[in-house]
């Protein structure tokens, strides 16, 4: 058998993003953590971790992480089958997901599941490329994102699509667009963009026949994006779930009539094939629940 | 004079987190960007950038970034003084701030400022240590965070405090706490924690006389944190601004009577001393406005 004390030290350093916090989490000294990692590396004959801030696993380190995450899930299954093994701790499930899901439908969707299975969630917010990289690296058990392509050993299931609407505040449309929405006026008024990988506003402009750069704020926060739109700082595409109440009150209005104001973004649930019973239960739960918030694709 | 074409290549690679996106942003080929960085390094006789993903500036690279950010701000001042120099582009101001501010009071507070000065914001969400590291590295012009200690060359101004309240949903209190809030019951029920650096829930438990570990979900999203609390996944400390409506509706309730349910977290606005007129104007604006959302300290 592997020495799981050593593997746990590695996993905790990566999850906690540092030796000091890993030591706190495991109730060990920092030098004990450091020795365990060094011992692991001595046995393997190669480094498992790049010592930078935060520490990054090497290729072989990632394979170890992938392994230990799977072992933990299997242990969880075993504890449910053999309740006397249960040490009173709750399961932890690490998942990567997109910011807009976490800000809107994710919590109501998984609430009953977490209560039933006594699961604690470690959620990481990532765009799809980084999320899938974390899957591949064995850092997360599941990933909710826009890519239909599973990584090796995993499955991707279509859950439906998140509906986005191009919106702005009435004051913004008055001030910046002179009351009329055209591609040229939009390009000259500030948009809001989540980050360098957010192409949704660009897709919307392309549909209007406009290619090229346009003014934009950068706002890497789902709720910040909503607040900036609501307060007339820019226009942008908001999840319908998030814009609903403000649209009903007239505080936000669609930039164009339907269907032109709408972009549907499909979401896929990536999960390991052999991730154990609890991950399989979450997958069934998501398939069952997602239709309440996502539109059919 | 420096060759600012080379410095701009460096700054764009760091801001856009990659050579490919920097090339897109500047309308150049990737190899042109790469050559400019190499030329810069040849002149300096040392590397300015660690080629990893995303690329990270070296110590000397950071000094160059600090310089170019300041030059850009000064150029902005000059353009306002000499309007014929104005090339029609809006100013960009890069600021780091805490997630809860961006999710609540920041957008309404800066809206009028951005419109008056035609400023576009590049916002990065960081906890205070990373935010101040970005200040020091010259990557941001300002930083809103909980530390009162300015980095060299900068000032920190107290804006007031964000008020947090310990809350949970009535269903959560019924299910997990059996209707009664005690430190022991809270420790046995899931909390919600923003990330490894979020000690707010720990501070609250310490005030109740409880030291040590407790169950928690990790949720690195301000709105996700709110949604998880609202949907009964855990208890946590929410910004009063964010919990207001749900508390008024009875969908969230305070865990303890005042003042025990409250923790006030001071916020400081860090900004360069010689950051130019636009940064000074934002600073005046924030000092003037923050009292509408923050409580006096």
CB A7 within 8 A of CB A67: yes
How many contacts (CB atoms, under 8 Å) link A and B? 132
Query: Of the candidates B216, B221, B230, which has its C-beta nearest A125's C-beta?
Result: B221
Taking contacts as CB-CB distances below 8 angstroms, the residues of chain A near B219 are 102, 121, 123
> Could you read off the pLDDT of A110-147 as tens digits, one per residue?
999 998 988 999 899 988 778 888 888 878 889 999 99
> Could you read off the pLDDT of A154-164 as tens digits, one per residue?
999 999 999 99
CB A123 within 8 A of CB B219: yes
CA R_g for chain B: 23
Q: By a Cβ cutoff of 8 Å, what residues of chain A touch chain B? A: 16-17, 21, 90, 99, 102-104, 106-108, 110-111, 114-115, 120-125, 175, 190, 196, 215-224, 226-228, 230-233
Asked whether the CA dihedral B234, B236, B241, B245 is positive or negative, the reply is positive
Q: What does the pLDDT read at residue A231?
A: 96
Q: What does the pLDDT read at residue B74?
A: 73
Query: The tokens of A173 are what?
Result: 């449309």
Q: What does the pLDDT read at residue A16?
A: 85
Q: What does the pLDDT read at residue B79?
A: 63
CB B65 within 8 A of CB B139: yes
Q: Say if residue A87's pLDDT is above 60.
A: no
Q: What does the pLDDT read at residue A138?
A: 78
- Rounded CA-CA distance B87/A96 in Å is 42
Taking contacts as CB-CB distances below 8 angstroms, the residues of chain A near B124 are 218, 220
State the nearest Cα–Cα gap between A22 and chain B, in angstroms.
10
Q: What does the pLDDT read at residue A165?
A: 97
Q: What does the pLDDT read at residue B294?
A: 97
| Cβ contact A218–B90 (<8 Å) | no
Q: Say if residue A22's pLDDT is above 80.
A: yes
| Cβ contact A223–B227 (<8 Å) | no
More confident residue, A95 or B75: A95
Taking contacts as CB-CB distances below 8 angstroms, the residues of chain A near B222 are 221, 223-224
DSSP element (H, E) containing A60: helix A59-81
Could you tell me the pLDDT band of residue A245, with boundaries at 50, 70 and 90? very high
SS3 A21: helix
Query: Of the candidates A121, A125, A228, which has its C-beta nearest B217's C-beta?
Result: A121
Q: What is the DSSP string of B60-120?
A: HHHHHHHHHHHHHHHHHHHHHHSGGG--SPPEEEEEEE-HHHHHTTHHHHHHHHHHHHTEE
Q: Say if residue A53's pLDDT is above 90.
A: no
| Cβ contact A103–B216 (<8 Å) | no
| Cβ contact B103–A228 (<8 Å) | no
| Domain architecture of chain B: domains with CATH | 1-67 (1.10.10.10), 162-265 (3.40.190.10)
Asked whether the CA dihedral A212, A217, A223, A226 is positive or negative, the reply is negative
Encode B104-148 in three state secondary structure. Answer: CCHHHHHHHHHHHHCEEEEEEECCHHHHHHHHHCCCCCEEEECCC
CB B157 within 8 A of CB A227: no
φ/ψ of residue B52, rounded to 5:
-135, 180
Query: The tokens of A290 are what?
Result: 């997602």
Query: The tokens of A9 are what?
Result: 């030290």
- Environment class of A45 (CB within 10 Å of its CB; exposed 0-12, middle 13-18, buried 19+): exposed
Encode A125-140 in three state secondary structure. Answer: ECCHHHHHHHHHCCCC
CA-closest candidate to residue A91, choices A284, A285, A288, A281: A281
Asked whether the CA dihedral B208, B209, B213, B215 is positive or negative, the reply is negative
Mean predicted confidence (pLDDT) in A56-75: 81
Dihedral of CA atoms B206, B209, B215, B216 in degrees, nearest 10, equals: -30
Q: Say if residue A39's pLDDT is above 80.
A: yes
Mean pLDDT of chain A: 89
Q: What does the pLDDT read at residue A266?
A: 95
The residues of chain B scoring below 70 in pLDDT are: 1, 76-90
Taking contacts as CB-CB distances below 8 angstroms, the residues of chain A near B225 are none
State the nearest Cα–Cα gap between A172 and chain B, in angstroms.
10
CA-closest candidate to residue A231, choices A181, A190, A178: A190
Q: In which residue are the tokens 């929410």 written? A: B238
Q: Say if residue A238's pLDDT is above 90.
A: yes
CA-closest candidate to residue A233, choices A251, A213, A245, A216: A216
| Cβ contact A233–B90 (<8 Å) | no
Q: What does the pLDDT read at residue B131?
A: 85
| DSSP state for residue A166 in the 8-state scheme | E
| Cβ contact A124–B220 (<8 Å) | yes
- Environment class of B32 (CB within 10 Å of its CB; exposed 0-12, middle 13-18, buried 19+): middle
Least confident of A80-94, A257-271, B67-81: A80-94
| DSSP state for residue A295 in the 8-state scheme | B
- Rounded CA-CA distance B183/B164 in Å is 18
Inter-CA distances, B222 with A74, B101, B227, B269, Å: 32, 9, 9, 20
Mean predicted confidence (pLDDT) in A272-290: 91
Q: Say if residue A232's pLDDT is above 80.
A: yes
DSSP element (H, E) containing B49: strand B49-50
């Amino acid at each position: 058998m592997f020495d799981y004390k050593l593997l746990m030290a590695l996993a905790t350093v990566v999850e906690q993003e540092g030796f000091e916090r890993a030591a706190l989490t495991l109730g060990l000294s920092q030098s004990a953590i450091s020795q365990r990692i060094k011992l692991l590396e001595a046995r393997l004959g190669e480094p498992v971790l790049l010592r930078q801030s935060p520490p990054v696993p090497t290729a072989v380190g990632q394979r170890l992480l992938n392994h230990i995450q799977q072992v933990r899930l299997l242990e969880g299954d075993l504890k449910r089958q053999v309740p006397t093994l249960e040490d009173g701790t709750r399961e932890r499930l690490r998942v990567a997901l997109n910011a807009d899901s976490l800000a809107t439908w994710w919590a109501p969707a998984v609430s009953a599941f977490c209560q039933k299975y006594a699961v604690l969630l470690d959620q990481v917010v990532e765009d799809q490329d980084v999320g899938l990289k974390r899957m591949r690296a064995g850092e997360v058990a599941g990933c909710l994102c826009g890519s239909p392509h599973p990584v090796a050993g995993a499955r991707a299931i279509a859950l439906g699509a998140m509906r986005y609407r191009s919106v702005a505040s009435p004051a913004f449309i008055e001030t910046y667009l002179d009351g009329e929405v055209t591609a040229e006026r939009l390009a000259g008024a500030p948009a809001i963009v989540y980050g360098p990988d957010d192409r949704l506003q660009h897709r919307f402009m392309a549909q209007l026949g406009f290619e090229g750069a346009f003014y934009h704020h950068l706002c890497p926060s789902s709720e910040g994006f909503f607040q900036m739109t609501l307060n007339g700082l820019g226009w942008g595409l908001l999840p319908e779930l998030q814009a609903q109440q403000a649209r009903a009150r007239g505080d936000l209005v669609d930039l164009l009539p339907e269907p032109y104001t709408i972009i549907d973004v499909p979401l896929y649930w990536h999960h390991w094939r052999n991730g154990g019973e609890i991950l399989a239960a979450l997958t069934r739960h998501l398939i069952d629940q997602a239709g309440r918030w996502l539109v059919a694709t």
